Each structure stands twice: as structure tokens, then as C-alpha cells.
Structure 1
Amino acid sequence: MAVQTAESRTGTPLTAGALVGPATVVTVIGLVLPVLLLLRYSLNRYDPRELMIETVTLENYVKFFTDAYYLEVFLTTLWVASLCTLVCLVAGFPLAYVLARTRARFKNVLIILVVMPLFVGNAVRAAGWMTLFGSRGFLSVTLMDLGLTSAPTEIMFTTQAVLIGIISVNLPYMVLTLQSVIEGVERQMEEAALSLGAGPITMFRRVLWPLALPGIIAGTILTFILAMNAYATPVLLGGPEFKMMAPLLFGQFQLGNWPFGAAVAFILMTTTLALTALAAFLMGKRIRAG
């Protein structure tokens, strides 16, 4: 029996290595190497005639952080992503709670309605918003017919249109993430808190919110990453005057400025990873503190 146990212990690392090995190879080839290549490109120099000159320089990063235009694009992306994530959390939590606690037969129908926006691509979804927000769109025409406005309401190519578009894309991810966590919270714990004299707000703050915090962290990180990297929605609903990081770096690649485009992409990636890691660390620390 002892020999068999030793053999099983000896074979476990080999088995684990055989299982993890293919995934590790795929990750290195599909993620690590492209990121390293992106970093290497960002250190090259752009030349209009030769496009990219092999060298090692930080001038692309210096250009980005010393130019007021690029800093404005960077800060706009940050606050749009943060605001969209906050709205998704505030609007998604009640909806996720209702879905998690509903025992009716039409629960599956409600879930389908939540995920239905994900059945179409971002460009198609944005085109739908365009027909609604245009100066001759459904919203503008309806408001004029009701006598609420005397002139066409122009929402297209505004910050509000971009925010609504991104929120509509990210909200289902937040709802589904929160729903799965809230369903794991026993209803008896909420009823016990209420029966002991806690009001609904106190119960939410002291019982439901801490227990649902892992789902809140996951949903927040997911929606923030999606908002930071949004491309189709800012381009179609924001117009040429509204700039975010993803359209900016795509435009640089279109112009053939691969070094600066790679630098923008690397800044976007590292900023997103750093902020999400910081948020996860702070919330995780709060969970451990109780």
C-alpha cells in the first residue's frame, strides 16, 4: 500500500505537467510572444519613407505622455470606462437580484431577454442606436410629434450616445456575473437579518453586499476591460470628434505608424491590467478583513 501511494504521489506531478503543458504552450505562443513583439515594435522609430526603423527608443512613449491631445484621449477613455462600469454595477445589481430570486416559470425568458443583446455584434447594435438617436431617428421624431420639442433632438455623435452604447453592451455581462453569485447566497441569511431588526438597506450593506463581493469584483473587472477596449461603439456613435484609445491606435496602424500604434496599444493594455489588478487587490483585501 505504501509503495502504491508513493507511486501515485510520484506520478501526480507528471500527470499535472502533461495536462498543463499544452495550455502553457498555447498561452506563450498566442499571448506572451505577441505582447513581447508589441513591446519591441513600440521601441522602434517611425519614418514616413521606411515606416519603421529598428532601434531602441522611448520617444513614442514620451510623445504620448507629453502631447495634450493624446493625454486627453487617455483620460477620456479612463473616465468613460469608469462611468460605464459604475452604471452597469448600479443598474445590474437589482436586475441580477431579481433574476437570482425569481422562481417563476418565466425566469428563463427574463434571462434570454438579458442576454439577447449579445446575440448581435457591436457594429449591428450600434447601427440600431444610430436609427434611434439620429436627428430624424425614432426618438427625435417621437418627441416632436408629442410636442415636447420644436426642433430635432441630436444625440448622435455625443458623449451620451457613446455611454449608452457601451453600457448596453456591458450590462448583460455584469448581470450574469452577479446573478450566479447571488444565487449562491442563502435566502435564509437575508431573512434572518431582517427578522433580527435590520432594515433592507442594513441587510444589503451588512449581509448581501459582502457575500456578493466576489461577483462584484469579477463583473466590475470584466465590464471595465470591455469598456476600456471599446472600438465600434465610439467610432459609430461618437463620430470622428470623439476619441478613445482603441480607435486611436487603430488609426495609427492605418497610417502605417506601427511604432506609435504599438506604444498606444501597450499603454492601453498595461493601464487596464494595472487598474483591474489594483481593484481586485483592494476588494480582495476587504473580503479578507471581513
Structure 2
Amino acid sequence: MKNRSLTAAALLMPATGLVLVFMALPLLYLLRYSFNEFVPGEFMISGFTLANFTTFFTDAYYLEGMGTTLMMAAGVTVFCILLGLPLANWIASQRGHRKTLLMMAIILPLFISNAVRAAGWMVAFGQTGVLNYTLVKLGLISQPLTIMHTPLAVFIGITAVNLPYVVLTLQSVFEGLDENIDYAAASLGAAPFQSFLLVRLPQVMPGLLAAATLSFILTMNAYATPVLLGGPSFRMMAPMIVTEIMSKANWPFGAALAFVLLSVTITVSVLAALFIRRRY
């Protein structure tokens, strides 16, 4: 047993070293920057100040950005679960070529970058875009709808990005269930919906929570979709961080915002992992 543990540790050392060099060290440098002082024209002055973090927690502008990010992450996650749960269950029940085609339809969007997909939504949501053109031609609306640069556009765009991940996660969990549980539930008088709700759903709950956590994290760190579909007036944390660093050259404050976002994301992930371990 001891030799196996040593072998496992030796196998993990290369990967651990790469993570420390290419991820941990840059984050430590960024953390150090967050305590520096920004002086326009001088980039930043080395020191130790909590002013950057104090600014975040006392400025309504940045608190609103964090609140918008949290609400968007929660809303997208709930919507993705509501859409992805029945879809993943249905795909898992399919067989043969139909299942292959369905899986390809879910996987293929992952090969397209978020920026390209957001550009496609821009074409669809524009004043003269596909959606407004179709609705006007059908007589459902008289004037084009304003969808671009609204929270709704960002919500739809991020949902389209996250949904394949949620479906793939849940589908693999449904695949692992014993098919006989449906027959057993039916033999006891349970309708198909009752069987899904009372038998299948409790067994996939760990996977459901994992998929929800994944969707939440992806939304918290979304950048391209909020920038392209939300416009300059829509504030989420990732675009705000990039603005502080790239546009204002305020590395200390941008680093502080990054660590606030990172802390919230890690906290949610750890709490979800602890809940899954203790409950399931």
C-alpha cells in the first residue's frame, strides 16, 4: 500500500509542478499587485495597502457589477438545469444513430469559440437581424424589438454557451443508472413522470449539483458574451476587470477585482463540493 501511494505521488508530481509554475505563481504575482498603489503616469508603486479592496466594497458601481454577475450566474444556472435535465434524460434513453446525432448536435457548438457564437447572436438580435425580420414578416410585431445590449441578450448568449456542458454532464450520469429502476417503479404503479421525479432524480442529484456548479462558475467568469451582447453599459465582473487593466492601466485595482471574483467562485465551488460529499 505504501509503495502504491509513493507511485501515485510520483506520477502526480509533473502535473503538480506545471500547475504551480503556470497557474499558482502568476496568481501570487497578481495578488501581490493587488496590494500596490496606482498612481496615474507611474503605473503602480510597490507597497502594502488595502485601499483597492476597500474601494470595491464601498463603491456602489463595483458592488452593482458583482450583484449583476451573481444574479446572471444564478439565473443562467437554473435555466440550464431546467432545460438540460429532461434533455439529458431523453438523450440517455436513445439508441443507435439517433443518439449519435443528438450527441454530435450537443458537442459541435463546443468547437466554436464564445466570441464567434456571440457574433452570431448579434446578427440574430440586431434591429434588422434574423429574429426581428422574421417576427415582422409574420405580423407578430409592428416595430423591431430592442434585444441587443440588454440583459436578456446576455442571458440567452451565456445560456447557449453553458447548456452543452450541463447536458453532457447530466447525460453521462443518466447513462450510469440501471435501466431496471424504471420497470421496478412502473410495476409499483408509478407513472413515467413520477418515476423520473421520485426514482431517477434523487440518484442523479450529485451530478445535477456538479453541473449546476460548472454552469455557475462559467457564468461568473464570462467575458466575450457580456462584452459583445451587453454593450458598454452592461456591467459584469470579468469585463470590468479587463477595463481596469487594459483601458485604465490600473493593475492594482484590476488585480483586486480579479481576486474578489476568484474568491467568490472558489467559495461557491468548495461549498458545493462539501455539500455533495456530506449529503450524497
TM bracket, shorter-chain basis: over 0.9
Greater than 3 Å deviation, 4+ residue runs: 9-14, 199-202
Alignment of 1:155 onto 2:135 = no
Alignment of 1:281 onto 2:274 = yes
1:197-235 deviations in Å (ceiling 9; x for gaps): 233444233321121122112211111111110000000
The offset of 1:266, in angstroms, is 0.5
Letter in 1 for 2:122: M
| 1:264 corresponding residue in structure 2 | 257
> In structure 2, do the counterparts of structure 1 residues 94 and 13 end up closer, same or farther at CA, with 3 Å as the change threshold?
closer
Larger Rg: 1
Structure 1 CA distance, aligned partners of 2:15 and 2:133? Answer: 54
Structure 1 CA distance, aligned partners of 2:30 and 2:130? Answer: 44
1:106-164 deviations in Å (ceiling 9; x for gaps): 21111111122112111110111111100010111111112221111111111100000
1:153-202 deviations in Å (ceiling 9; x for gaps): 11111110000000000000000010011000011112212221233444
The size of the alignment, in residue pairs, is: 279
Alignment of 1:183 onto 2:151 = no
For residue 204 of structure 2, give the secondary structure of its aligned residue in structure 1. Answer: helix
| 2:224 corresponding residue in structure 1 | 232
The offset of 1:55, in angstroms, is 0.7
Aligned-CA RMSD value: 1.4
Worse overlay, 65-74 or 273-282: 273-282
| 2:116 corresponding residue in structure 1 | 124
Worse overlay, 84-93 or 197-206: 197-206
> In structure 2, do the counterparts of structure 1 residues 258 and 82 end up closer, same or farther at CA, with 3 Å as the change threshold?
same
Letter in 2 for 1:53: I
Structure 1 CA distance, aligned partners of 2:113 and 2:216? Answer: 19
Instruction: Trace 1:58-77 onto structure 2 (pairs within 5 A).
Output: 58-77=50-69
| 1:210 corresponding residue in structure 2 | 202
Structure 2 CA distance, aligned partners of 1:224 and 1:286? Answer: 20
For residue 44 of structure 2, give the secondary structure of its aligned residue in structure 1. Answer: strand
Calculate the TM-score normalised by the size of structure 2. Answer: 0.95
Identity over aligned residues, as a percent? Answer: 51
Question: Structure 1: where are the runs of 5+ without partners?
Answer: 1-8
Structure 1 CA distance, aligned partners of 2:69 and 2:2? Answer: 51
Structure 2 CA distance, aligned partners of 1:13 and 1:186? Answer: 33
Structure 2 CA distance, aligned partners of 1:165 and 1:80? Answer: 11
Calculate the TM-score normalised by the size of structure 1. Answer: 0.92
| 1:21 corresponding residue in structure 2 | 13
Structure 1 CA distance, aligned partners of 2:174 and 2:8? Answer: 33
| 1:55 corresponding residue in structure 2 | 47
The offset of 1:11, in angstroms, is 4.0
> In structure 2, do the counterparts of structure 1 residues 34 and 149 end up closer, same or farther at CA, with 3 Å as the change threshold?
same
Alignment of 1:85 onto 2:67 = no
Question: Structure 2: where are the runs of 5+ without partners?
Answer: none
